Structure formats: C-alpha cells, structure tokens
Structure 1
Amino acid sequence: MGQKLKTIIAIALPVQVILVKWIGSYPDFVENYYSNGIYPRISQFLRTLFGWIPFSIGDLFYTVLVILAVRYLYRHWKTIIKKPLLFLKEIVVVLSIAYFAFHLLWGMNYYRQPITWKLGIEKEYTKEQLVSFTSYLIKKSNEYQTEITGDTIDLVKIPYSKKEIFKKTEEGYSKLKNSYPDFEYKRPSLKSSIYSLPLTYMGYGGYLNPFSNEAQVNGITPPYRLPTVSGHEVGHQLGYSAEDATNFIGFLVTSQNDNPYFKYAAYSHALAYCLSDLSRVDEVKFKEILPQLNPGVKKNYKEVSEFWEQYENPLEPVFKSIFNTFLKVNNQEEGIKSYNSVVGLLISYHQHHTF
C-alpha cells in the first residue's frame, strides 16, 4: 500500500467518526436502513461463511493479527525509532480500516432504536414492583429447582454438552420467532471461544465477534450459566447491541424453551439481577425475602460466584473499565451498568405478558 493511499485512509478516520455520529443521531434511519436493511444480509452471509466451521474463525483472525503486529514491530523497530510519526501514521491507518469494518459489519446497531421502542415496554419501575417481581421469580426458580432435583437442597446440574446447549438455544429461537418474527435466527453460528480462559480472567461470559459474526461463549463457565449466555450472544448477532436488551432477549428465549433446565437457568439468572437491585434499594426487604429461596438455588449462585472468584486478578478491573468506556463511546450512556438495566425491561414486560 502506497504512502499516498495510507494518507487518505488515515485522514478518513476523523471523517468516519463524524459521519457515524451524524448518522447515529437518526435512530429511525439506522433502524430501517441498517439494522433491518443491510445488516441482516451481512450477518447471514458471514454466518453462512463461518458458521459451519466447528471452531472460532474470529478468534484465529485475532491471533493472526497479533502475530503480524509482533512480527512488524520486530522487523521494523529501527525504523520506528527513527521515524515515529510514520509509525503513528501506520497505526492510524489500521484504526481507520478497523473502524470502518466494525461499523459496517455490526457496530451501527449501537445507534438503532432501543428494544423498549420495539416491544413497547419501559425501563422505569417502582420498589413495590421490584419486590413483587422478585417474589415471583423466587417462586418460579424454586419450582423448577424442585422439579429437576426432586428436593429443595441439591443444586441443579445441567446434563448437556456445550453443543447440546447451543442446539437447544437455536431451538428456543425457532420457537420465539413465532411470537417475535424479528428474533428469527437464520444460519446459526454459536461457538465456544478458543480463548475461554483469557475471557474468564477478564471477567467475560462471552462476546460477539463483529468481523466474523460468530457468537462466542466462554466455554469453561459453569454449564448452569451457558443457556442464558448463549441466548444473550445470539441476541447480539440479531443486531441488538445494548447489553440490557441482549440480557432481556437471553432471558426471553431461554425461559420460553420447553426444557426445564433452560427455564430454571432463565428464571434464576433473572432473579440474581433482581436480588442485586433489591439489596441496593432496600437492604431490609432483601434480607427479609432471601430466606424464601431454596438452598439448592443458593448453591447454584455459590457455584457461579466461586468460579469467578478463583480467576480474580488485578487486571480484571482494567478490562472492565476499558469495556465500560467502549460502551459509553458507542452510545451506551450507562456503560457496563447497562447489564443491570434488564430488571426494568423484565418487570415492564411481565406487566404485559405472563411468563
């Protein structure tokens, strides 16, 4: 690539940023022409291209990029020292290309209409609604835990492999599309990440690779968590970028699955968010309501908590901070706190639909 072309691409970066923000200020336009226009075609093409491959092409793509970057630094370190501005230009060129590819292939979904607009629900709720809904989720979680284990004491153990969980997630979306055609999941591409261990150290349950449109699940997390994580990541594939929206979609598809293990995973996971919220707004009520929870459900919570505790490290808050900034830059004002905003969506949806 010649220096003239590199200069043009580098100059294009700030132009792209301005253009994305300008287009993003028209969410109706993004919703109609990107999220429901060109994006479904792009995503289905990428999933057709890579979905049949049993391992993550996106993870390999990142690996190759890192190797090439290290190789470049090793071979050109003398030039970099002599001509640092030229090296800076190379970095800007790479960023410009990545920025363009990211927003074309997936990133413009950050600027679409929120899921509250799509489903006619709200995020706001009262403390009374939170208490009532939390009690309901405790009841449902207890019911499925008892149905599965035969008592109130034992934790639930998912008896399926990762592939079986992924397949059942796909089946759940096939059922969900009957009520919500927009959630139809064509050309599945749901995989366990090659880098599940690094993801765990960073504190992530999964991610969507925007360049290959593969839904990547952290394959070493407790199986009990995999149904909702899988549903969440597929929600990103369908073009929903906001974390509260994909948490909600993950709950919806998992709770509507006919499988009792999936229903338990959905209700107990939603309950964890509600209990966390309740402990924040009314600790007295939280302590009053917590004993209603079956010991077996609490053991599943402990299982997940102990799993993450063993991977705690000083860098995890750094990765979380970076992701928090990334979300805020991409039109998610709440940042990483948006995960917890699913509580309002669940309560509002429950007001209109029984689940």
Structure 2
Amino acid sequence: MSEKAKNLLALSIVPQVLLVKVLAGFPEVVEAYYSNGIYRFIASGYRYAFGWVPFSVGDIFYALAGIMILRFIWRKVRSVSRKPWPFFREILQTLSLAYLFFYLSWGLNYYRLPLHRSLGIGAEYTTEELVSFTEKLIERTNTLHTTLAASDSSAVNIPYSRREIYQRSIEGYARLAERSPHLAYSPASIKSSLFSLPLSYMGYGGYLNPFTNEAQVNSMQVDYRYPLVTCHEEAHQIGYSAENEANFIGYLAATANPDPYFRYSGYAYMLRYCLNETYRRDRDTYARLVATLHKGVLENYREAALFWKKYENPLEPIFKNTFNAYLEANNQAGGIKTYSYVVALLVNYHRKEAL
C-alpha cells in the first residue's frame, strides 16, 4: 500500500465519525433502511457463517486481536520517538477499519427509533399504573413458581443444560414472529462465552460480538435468569442494541415461550425491575408487594445476588464505568441508568396488550 493510501485510510475515521453523527439525527432513516433493511441480511449472513461452529469464533478473534496489539506495542513502541507518525498512523488505520465494521455490522442500531415510538406506546406512566402492573407480574410469577418449585419457599432450579436452553430459546422468538415478523430470529448463533470467568468478574451476564453476530452468554451464571439472559442476547442479534430494549424484547420472547421455565425466568426477572422502581417511588407499597411474593422467588433473587457477590472486586466499578461511557457515546444519554426505561416499555406495552 502506498504512503498516500495509508494516510487516507488512517484519516478516513474522521468522515466516518461525522457520518455516524449525521445519521444519528435521522432515526427514521436508520430504522427503515438499516435496522429493517440491510442489517437483516448482514446479521443473518454472519450467523450462517459462524452459527454452526460449536465454540465462540468471536472470542477467539478477540484473543488473537489482544495478542496482536501487545505484539505491535512491543515491536513499535521503541521507535515512536523517532518515527511518531507511522506508529500513530497504524493505530488510526486499525481504528478506522474497526469503526467501519462495527457500525456497518451492528452499531448503527443504536441510532434507530426508540422502541416505544416504533411500537406506538408511551414512555411515561403513573405510580398507580406501575403498582397495578407489578401486582399482575407477581401473580404470574407466583403461579409459575407453584408449578415449578417443590414448595412456596423453594427456589426454582432450571433443569436444562446450557445447550438445551439455547435450543429452547428459539421457540419463543418463533411464537413472537407469528404476530411480529420483524422479531423473527433465524438462523441461531448462541454460544457460551470462552471468557465467562472474566465476564463474571466484570459483572456481565453476556454480550453480543458485533463482528461475528454471535450471542455470548456467561455460562458460569446458571440460575433462574439464564433463559431470559439468553433471549436478551438474541434480541441484540436481531438489531436491538440498547440494553433496555434488548431486555424488553428478551422478556417478550421468554414469556411467549411454551416452556414454563422460560416464562418464569421472564416474569421473575422483570418483576425485579418493577419492584425496584416501586421502592424508589413508594417504599410502603413496595413492602406490601414483596410480602405477597412467594419466599421461593425471593430465594431465586438471593441466589443470583450471591453469585455476583462472589466475584465482586475493586476493578468491577471501572468496567461498569467504562461500559457506561460506551453507552453514553452511543445514543443512551443516561448510560447504564437507561436500563430502567424497560419498566416504561413493560407498563405501556401491557396497557395495549393485556398481561
């Protein structure tokens, strides 16, 4: 490659950033032509290419990339003072290509229409509506808990292997697609992350690899949430980049699933969000609602909390703050706090569609 071509490639990151910023101002265009247009072909192509591989291709890619970065630094850092531009140019070239592939392969979905607008529902709700919906969620969760646990005070244990959970998760999306074709999920590409231990220390239940479109699930976290987390990562695959929106779509897929363990996972997981929001607004009502919940459901919550407590470490807040900054840089002004938006989606969606 000529020096001129190298310079152009390195500096191409500038117009790319500007183009993404411009597209961010036209969510209708992104929704119509990218998220519901070319992205569907790109995503399915990646999943056809890598979905059949039994291990995470994306994790291998990240590991190799990390080794290459360390090798590059080791070889080049001593020559920076003598030839600074070639060193920084190579970095800019890599960043330019990574930026291009990230936003073309998946990242532009951050700038699609907010989900409440595409669904035609509101984004606000009253405390009375929240409490009413939470009561219905408790009823559904308790009913399923009764059928799945040995007693009211026993936790629900998911009886499936990780692979079985991945296979069964597809059924919920198939049911959703019958009335919402844009939520169709095929082919599948769901895998346990090779980095599950680091993910546990970082505090994450999974992630989507945007360069291979593989759904990566933290396989060390095997509790009542596993089916919902799997559906959440699959929601990322079909184009819902925002964490709150992926939570909501994952909930729809889990609760549409014919398997009762998936429905329990979906209802119990989202119930926690609603209870937390109720606690923030009205602590007396929160106490009343929790008193009606089976002790076994609370035991499921306790088990999940103990899992994450086991991996708490001084670096976890750094990882969370980094992810928060990443979210804010990609059209989620509240960062991690925007997860609470899922409650608005739940309440307003079920105002139209009865729970």
TM-score, structure 1 length as denominator? Answer: 0.97
Q: What's 2:214 paired with?
A: 214
Please state if 1:71 is matched with 2:63. no
| SS of structure 2 residue aligned to 1:153 | coil
Please state if 1:269 is matched with 2:273. no
Q: Note the 1:277-316 alignment, pairs <5 A.
A: 277-316=277-316
AA aligned opposite 2:64: V
Which has the larger displacement, 76-85 or 217-226? 76-85
Please state if 1:244 is matched with 2:244. yes
Please state if 1:59 is matched with 2:59. yes
CA displacement 1:73-120 (0-9 Å, x = unmatched)? 222332134333432222222111111110111111111112112221
> How much identity, in percent, do the aligned residues show?
48
Check whether the contact 1:192–1:218 (CA below 8 A) recurs between aligned residues.
yes
| SS of structure 2 residue aligned to 1:165 | helix
Shift in Å at residue 284 of structure 1?
Answer: 2.0
Q: What's 1:176 paired with?
A: 176
Q: What's 1:39 paired with?
A: 39
Q: What's 1:347 paired with?
A: 347
**In structure 2, how many angstroms separate the alpha carbons of the residues matched to 1:84 and 1:185?**
47
Which has the larger displacement, 146-155 or 293-302? 146-155
**In structure 1, how many angstroms separate the alpha carbons of the residues matched to 2:319 and 2:251?**
25
Q: What's 2:201 paired with?
A: 201
| SS of structure 1 residue aligned to 2:207 | strand
CA displacement 1:184-231 (0-9 Å, x = unmatched)? 011110111100111111111111100000011111112311111111
CA displacement 1:288-324 (0-9 Å, x = unmatched)? 2211111100000000000000101111111111111
Which has the larger displacement, 205-214 or 149-158? 149-158
Q: What's 1:259 paired with?
A: 259
Q: What's 2:331 paired with?
A: 331
Check whether the contact 1:110–1:240 (CA below 8 A) recurs between aligned residues.
yes
Shift in Å at residue 15 of structure 1?
Answer: 1.1
Q: What's 2:141 paired with?
A: 141
In structure 2, stretches of 5+ residues that fail to align are none
Check whether the contact 1:222–1:307 (CA below 8 A) recurs between aligned residues.
no
Shift in Å at residue 66 of structure 1?
Answer: 0.7
**In structure 1, how many angstroms separate the alpha carbons of the residues matched to 2:169 and 2:57?**
21
**In structure 2, how many angstroms separate the alpha carbons of the residues matched to 1:161 and 1:236?**
22
Check whether the contact 2:141–2:264 (CA below 8 A) recurs between aligned residues.
yes
**In structure 2, how many angstroms separate the alpha carbons of the residues matched to 1:204 and 1:122?**
29
CA displacement 1:226-261 (0-9 Å, x = unmatched)? 111111111111011111111000110101111111
**In structure 1, how many angstroms separate the alpha carbons of the residues matched to 2:203 and 2:253?**
24
Which has the larger displacement, 108-117 or 84-93? 84-93
**In structure 2, how many angstroms separate the alpha carbons of the residues matched to 1:6 and 1:338?**
40
**In structure 2, how many angstroms separate the alpha carbons of the residues matched to 1:179 and 1:236?**
20
AA aligned opposite 1:351: R
Check whether the contact 2:156–2:300 (CA below 8 A) recurs between aligned residues.
yes
AA aligned opposite 2:232: H
Check whether the contact 2:223–2:303 (CA below 8 A) recurs between aligned residues.
no
CA displacement 1:1-52 (0-9 Å, x = unmatched)? 4432221112111111111111221111111111111111111110000000
**In structure 2, how many angstroms separate the alpha carbons of the residues matched to 1:168 and 1:119?**
26
State how many pairs are aligned.
Answer: 355
TM-score, structure 2 length as denominator? Answer: 0.97
Q: What's 1:29 paired with?
A: 29
In structure 1, stretches of 5+ residues that fail to align are none
| SS of structure 2 residue aligned to 1:224 | coil
